[in-house]
Amino acid sequence: MKKNNRSLLAMALVCAMGLSACGSDGEDGKDGAPGTPGTPGTPGTPGAPAGATVDTVTTAADFMLTLQPADIVVVGADDFTIKFTATGKNSKGDDVPFTGLDKVALYVTNLVANDTDTGAPMLWSNNALVNEFGSSMYCTPTGKATARGGAEVDACTLVEDAENPGTYMGSWEHDGNAPVVSADGDPNSLFRVMVRTYNVTDATGVGIGDKLLSTPLDFTPATGELAVSTKDSVSNAACIQCHSELTGYGEGDMRIANIGAHHNYQKVENCITCHNPAYAGGQDDPEKGFNANWNAMIHTIHAGGVLAEDGLLVGDALDEFAGVHFPAELSECTTCHDNGTQWNDNIYAEACLSCHMNVDLATGENHRGIIPGSDAACSGCHGAGSLSPMVAHNVGGRDKVSDAFAFDFTSAVVTATADPAVSTLTVMANVTLNGAAVADGTDFSEYMTSTRRGLLIGNLDADGTPTRGLGMSVISDVVSLSGGVLTVAKDFDATRLMGPIYVTAEVQVCAEGDMVVKCTTNTDGDIEQLGVANSAPIKYFNLSDPTAATVIARMDDPDRVTVSEAQCNTCHGNLTHVKGTHGATEFTQCMDCHNNTWYGSFHGDVAYDTGEVDADGDPIFANVPGLTFSNRDLVTVAHRFHSGSWDGGGIYFDKNMETVGYPALATDCQACHKEGAKLFAADGGLTSGKRAIKVSATEYISPIAESCRSCHIQGSALAHFESNGSYVEGSPATTADLPVESCATCHAEGKTYGVDKVHMGGGH
């Protein structure tokens, strides 16, 4: 009853209010007439189409922050301002505005003239450091930031333009002007601005691995024009020669991929932001053993291995830099200094003493007793002539005498002896010394850095595979030297003296300037001159049929060799330096020893740094149990050495089995391999045609697996190789006629896990 009464009462109230649900006749349940339509509302603003902006990126190279000189105030009395745009790649690969930035850091430096008589003529000055604020200034939406160590610091206020997503403005809302402004700076000098962006992730929320750094902007504030620094004597391209390139950035925006310090600031222009006199002035501590100013520090780092061996590094420097073994010649300044001649023209102690650390200019020790009053006095002796950096360091020395000692092989013939099992091989060559026919009766040993070197001669299989063993001495095997013609002869097993052979030489000699000279030694017994290689273009002869078609060595065929001497020399400068007294400059010389037919290894074990030291403080190395190599093949030896799978040296494994000392990215195959080179042939084997590597007098292993094992040393990798048809160390075959491994099925170029995808790139 109560429910029904309430329902009737509600209906009466509704009718009394004139609602259309109650008809005029009072009947229940019938719709009334439609009401008058209301006034349409104001249309809403259309939303941005999908993908028009992004707030995540896949890689650091997908993010770009762009600055313009007109949008930056960092000098003078005007208030600090900055405006920049940020873009990221969307799913289609288009560059679209990047929204939601919540933290960036500004680094501002400028070039100032050095008005003292100490140091370089022009110096980098970091505005924030000069203003005693630190090395950079943060910008956040709140105008506050948390610095390293957890302290809250003032920051510029960062605002995104609501009308233009991806456009950001920064201003200083605290007392005074922003710390990146140089109040007394010269607006007509070059200023450099770089921005680091924080807290950017990929679509899954994982932070981007590489630093997000803008391309440094060099400009002149007074004119608003872009500028070019005349101080930058080392380009990023020079560093990339050894340290790999971080790929994915725009043309002309070269970035270094593999610098361990501070997790890589990618460019020389970025490094000088902190490593300049303002920072170094507080860091130049004798106990550290180095000066943190860029020019001094970078010399000390790259000379670290040599300086440590000489006992010149101390303190932190010894710990940090002793393991750095510069892969080229320290005296070849142009290996790094590839942008102008400032390194030769500007003479001052700071740069020189970073390598010549045993020189004491205050006392004249190791400086001929000379005590220069200031850097200005240095140019008096070192500004030109024999004591200038160019001449004193003999820059380009090996190139100057590349053809000064040359062999031109003209014939190779076989004659029988009284013993039918033995025959005599006689080789003749035209020889020139310093551009003239070598004098009759010249004793080559007087010019040689090692009398063990000589002619490299061996047999060639039909496919160009070398077998060494017919080499001769240019001292003990000389028959005659007359009229510039050298004749050498030696007896060999008659079965070796037939068919195609190769002839070349690796005679390293002493040189001064652009001349080959007789060697002299110092009081320690060390040769005083520069060791240079001979010139000996490889020649081919057929001992059985001189008219037969020429067989060339596999390593002399560009279509079968995926690396080049030029690639090696980008980092090493020259192969002669790498191989000590060997005097080798070409793979055709290296192949005499480093081939797939001469088994055994002088470096069969693999050592690692245990992390412990002996009584003298030297690191203790131990062999990796069960890991050995039994071949000298050039491919595996080169891979092994550069990966650290060696028995000690400049590149090695630490206690965590991580590679120490290799400057490039481990996966950057193009650091050595020619661009576009294909490692796999159509049949799935190697492009070289090599199908087996000899590891004992009767045993052979598979070449692809052995190349990969140089880096992939885990036991699981070995099992993987075997499961794919490879014969490996410890489980060899007894024939050289091995089946092609199935590695190419997954790892050939173009495959999902092809070497071109997982190894060839220089970027992260």
pLDDT band of 283, cuts 50, 70, 90:
low
pLDDT score, position 44: 60
Q: Which residues have CB under 8 Å from 313's CB, separation 6+?
A: 289, 290, 300, 304, 307, 321, 322, 357
Q: Tell me the residue length of the chain.
A: 764
Helix boundaries (H) for 92-169: 127-130
Query: Averaged over 613-618, what is the pLDDT?
Result: 88
Percent of the chain at pLDDT > 90 equals 82
Q: What is the dihedral of CA 646, 649, 655, 660, to 10 degrees?
A: -100
DSSP annotation of 60: G
pLDDT score, position 679: 94
Percent of the chain at pLDDT > 70 equals 93
pLDDT score, position 35: 73
231, 125 Cβ separation under 8 angstroms:
no
> pLDDT at residue 46 above 50?
yes
Distance (Å, whole) CA 657 – CA 626: 14
* Nearest residue to 596 via CA among 672, 499, 452, 704: 704
Select the more confidently predicted residue: 300 or 44: 300
pLDDT band of 155, cuts 50, 70, 90:
very high
Q: Residue 59, class by beta-carbon neighbours within 10 Å (0-12 exposed, 13-18 middle, 19+ buried)?
A: middle
pLDDT score, position 436: 97
pLDDT band of 200, cuts 50, 70, 90:
very high
Distance (Å, whole) CA 251 – CA 321: 33
Q: Residue 306, class by beta-carbon neighbours within 10 Å (0-12 exposed, 13-18 middle, 19+ buried)?
A: middle
404, 515 Cβ separation under 8 angstroms:
yes
Pairing of strands 466-468, 515-517: unpaired
- Collapse the DSSP code of 584 into the 3-class scheme (helix H, G, I; strand E, B; otherwise coil) and give the result: coil
183, 96 Cβ separation under 8 angstroms:
no
Please give the mean pLDDT across all residues of the chain.
91
Distance (Å, whole) CA 347 – CA 378: 6
pLDDT band of 757, cuts 50, 70, 90:
confident
pLDDT band of 245, cuts 50, 70, 90:
very high
